[in-house]
Structure formats: structure tokens, C-alpha cells
Amino acid sequence: MAFQIGEEVIHLNHGLGKISDIEEKMVHGETVSCYVFQTPSLTVWVPIDAEDRHNLRAPKSKKEFRKLFSVLQSPIEPLSEDHLKRKKQLSQLMNEGQLRSICRIVRDLTGFGKDKDIKLSDVDKSILERATNSLLVEWVYSLSVPLPHAQEKMAELLNS
């Protein structure tokens, strides 16, 4: 997928930002065309023709985003009780960069944390926070709603 200058995109690790330019950069002795991805506090160069390009995607439309509510409402999928296996499982989902996977992480870790016999590890909490923030940023953007509204709706969906 080709992006245009000025287009808003989602970066796998940095969230919502904008393509501010396309520049040539030297990478390992080769000239490479790169998208200049910017947030208010960060600039990242993403090679256009490299495998790294999967780090960028278009934000979901309102219709696409609302379809993901069913993921948040669906029954949790079991997570490994072994914290190292769970970390690997969750990291793989995060690295997919897909909003459906992020919804699954939020749903499953939130449900996992409700089990009185299990405490979320610091790694679990960190992944949950990152996934929740990522989901909410796109929620606010895609549905054009204020953050408190998105937080309230998310909590409602997770508890239904």
C-alpha cells in the first residue's frame, strides 16, 4: 500500500502519525526511499520498498472499527499460566500490528487479570497498557469521539 504525504497512518510501535515527506536515505550503503513518519514528539524513517513497510497501515474506517467491538465482547481465549510463554504469545500478537490482535490482547489480559487467583505480572501490565493505549488512540481517531467516551465504551464492551 502506498501512502501519500499528509496522510495519517498507524505505525506498529509509535501509533498514530502522519506521512510528512518522502526522502532518500543511505541504509547499509544503498540509497533507499523512505516515508517520513511524524508524531508531535517523534520522527521515524520507514523504508518504502522494504519488509519494514508492514510497520505502517491506514487507520480503520468507522465501519471497520465498529466491527472490532465483537472481539472485545467475545469470550476470552486462555493465556498460558507460564509467564514466559504468555509474554511470547502476547508479544507475537502485538508485533502483528493488527487492530484485531490488539483487541484480543486487551480482552484476554483484562479477563485474565480478573481471576482472583492470578496476578498480572509487570510485563503483562506493560503489554496491556501499550495495547490499550494503541486501541484508544485509534478509537478516538476513527470514531471521532473524545477519549473519555472511548474509555467508557471499551470498559462496557469488556464487561458485557
pLDDT digits (tens, 9 = 90+) for 33-92: 999 999 999 999 998 875 555 688 999 999 999 999 999 999 999 888 888 999 999 999
**136 CB-near residues (< 8 Å, 6+ apart):** 147, 150, 151, 154
Fold of 62-158: Methane Monooxygenase Hydroxylase; Chain G, domain 1 (1.20.58)
Ranges in the chain annotated CATH 1.20.58.1290: 62-158
For the stretch 91-96, contacts whose Cβ atoms lie closer than 8 Å and that sit 24 or more positions apart, written own/partner, are 91/127, 94/127, 94/130, 94/131, 95/12
Determine the pLDDT at residue 136.
97
**Would you say 143 and 65 are in contact if contact means Cβ atoms under 8 Å apart?**
yes
Considering the segment(s) 8-57 as one domain, its CATH architecture is Beta Barrel (2.40)
Weakest mean pLDDT among 15-24, 43-52, 106-115: 43-52
Res 118 pLDDT > 80: no
Determine the pLDDT at residue 74.
95
Task: Say which residue the cell 493465556 belongs to.
Answer: 79
Ranges in the chain annotated CATH 2.40.10.170: 8-57
Using only the alpha carbons of the chain, give its radius of gyration.
17
Q: In what order do the strands lie in the sheet with 8-11?
A: 42-47, 30-39, 15-27, 8-11, 56-57
